Each structure stands twice: as C-alpha cells, then as structure tokens.
C-alpha cells in the first residue's frame, strides 16, 4: 500500500508539470502567492464577505476548464462526458461545491469565522489543484488516489505556510526601514521648522528695530515741528 501511494504521489507530481496541467495550475499558483503575500504585508486588513465571494468564483472557472478538457479528449466531444464519467463527476463536483460556497457567502448563511476558512485561498485553490490532477490523470477513483492527493495537498499547505515566515520577516523588516525613513523625514522637518522659527524670530527682531527707529525718527520730527511752531508764535 505504501509503495502504491508513493508511486501515485510521484505520478501526480510529474503530471503537475505537463503542459496541459500547467496551463490550469500556474494561474492558481500565482494567485495564491500574491494573495498570501498581500495579507502578510497588510495584516491590519481583514478579508470580508466580498473577498470570500470572489474566492469561491475560482471553482467555477476551474470546473469550466475541466469540462473543456474532458470535451477535447480525442474526438469524442460530448460523448466524453459519458465515456469518462469519473472525470465528469469530478468536474460536476467542483462546480457544485463552487455553487454551494458561493451561495453560502452571497447570503451570509454560515458564520463568518467558518466562512473565512471554507473560502480561504489555500482551501479552495488546493482543492481545485487536487481535482485538476485527478481529471488530467488516467486513474480511476480509489483509496490510494485519494490518499496520494491528500498527501500532496497537506505537503503543499505546509510549504505555503512555511513560505509565510520569510514573507512575514521581509515585510516586518521593510516596515522597520520605512519607519526609520519616516522618523528621518520627521527629524528633517523638525529641523527645518526650527530653522524657520529662528529666522522668523530674527526677522521679528529686525522689524522691531526698524519700527523703533522709525518711531524715534517720527518723534524727533514731531519735536522739531513743535519747536518751529513755538518760534512762530
């Protein structure tokens, strides 16, 4: 059993790097990394019902891609949905799960705490990845296949959670650098403000001196005029 599951795991890993599968999982991979990075960087933000709703739409697009793949196998066309009934059921299952989660999120049926985990990027994207591998494989449903896919999902989930650690450290370091820069800018602005206050004080002192000289000059002029008037009298 262990040897069978090991060989199935290796088979699914190799299958992941085939062109047809890559076309479907690469967008999932990049979307997962981008969203994980975003919420690691902006931890103060939290997902809301709109984000849960958007996440659940992924399963619709995945199911459409799977239907397209099944339809395009050989020259069977629509007959392939009967010929490859296992693959068709898997695609329908993805569509049904996507519709159910979408309805739950649209109507806020589930508690938000539960909806957050059910509609998380890791949950939905890894589920979609497992179904994509199964549909693109030449295997039927079996315990070994299920265990192998679950093992791959768990390992990828662990790896992605480990990736969060350096991301968290990087964004924390970047935030410290930005904080230092902000402090530096504040200090520069404080210095500039102090210099401006100093210059303003000097200008006020000069202005007072000028006004004082002007007042003294006007006083002397008034006294001179007064004396002139007395002489005339």
Write phi, then psi, for 78 (nearest 5 degrees).
Answer: -65, -25
The per-residue pLDDT for 59 is 85
Distant-in-sequence contacts of 142-146, Cβ < 8 A, 24+ apart: 144/1, 144/4, 144/5, 144/8, 145/8
Write down the pLDDT at residue 92: 92
Task: Produce one character per residue of 127-147: b if its CB has 16 or more CB atoms within 10 Å, e if not.
Answer: bbbbbbbbbbbebeeeebbeb
Please give the model's pTM, rounded to 2 decimal places: 0.67
pLDDT of amino acid 187: 76
Nearest alpha-carbon partner for 92 in 59, 117, 126, 123 = 59
SS3 state of residue 158: helix
Asked if 156 and 129 count as a contact pair (C-beta separation under 8 A), the reply is yes
d(C-alpha 96, C-alpha 88), whole Å: 12
Judge whether 66 and 132 are in contact, CB under 8 Å. Answer: yes
Residues 6+ apart with CB under 8 A from 55: 119, 120, 121, 124
* Torsion angle, alpha carbons of 15, 17, 23, 27, to 10: 110
Taking the C-alpha atoms of residue 178 and residue 197, their distance in angstroms, rounded to an integer, is 28
Tell me if 117 sits within 8 A of 123, measured CB to CB: yes
- Cα–Cα distance, 154 to 160 (Å, whole number): 10
Regions of the chain where pLDDT drops below 70: 39-51, 222, 224, 226-233
Nearest 5°: CA angle at 23, between 19 and 25? 110
Look up residue 71 and give its two tokens: 């339809």
Helix 2-16 × helix 19-41 angle, to 10°? 90
In 182-191, which positions are buried (b, 16+ CB within 10 angstroms) versus exposed (e)? Answer: eeeeeeeeee
């Amino acid at each position: 059993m262990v040897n069978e599951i090991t060989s199935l795991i290796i088979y699914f890993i190799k299958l992941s790097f085939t062109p047809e599968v890559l076309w479907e999982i690469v967008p999932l991979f990049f979307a997962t990394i981008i969203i994980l990075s975003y919420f690691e960087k902006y931890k103060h933000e939290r997902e809301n019902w709109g984000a849960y709703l958007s996440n659940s739409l992924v399963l619709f697009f995945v199911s459409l891609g799977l239907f397209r793949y099944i339809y395009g196998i050989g020259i069977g066309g629509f007959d392939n949905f009967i010929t490859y009934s296992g693959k068709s059921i898997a695609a329908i299952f993805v569509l049904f799960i996507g519709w159910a989660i979408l309805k739950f999120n649209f109507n806020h049926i589930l508690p938000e705490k539960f909806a957050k985990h059910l509609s998380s990027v890791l949950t939905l994207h890894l589920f979609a990845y497992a179904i994509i591998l199964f549909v693109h494989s030449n295997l039927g449903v079996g315990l070994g296949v299920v265990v192998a896919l679950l093992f791959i999902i768990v390992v990828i989930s662990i790896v992605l959670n480990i990736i969060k650690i350096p991301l968290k450290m990087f964004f924390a370091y970047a935030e410290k650098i930005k904080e230092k820069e902000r402090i530096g800018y504040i200090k520069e602005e404080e210095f500039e403000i102090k210099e401006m206050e100093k210059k303003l004080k000097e200008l006020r002192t000069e202005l007072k001196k000028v006004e004082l000289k002007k007042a003294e000059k006007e006083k002397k002029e008034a006294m001179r005029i007064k004396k002139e008037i007395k002489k005339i009298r």
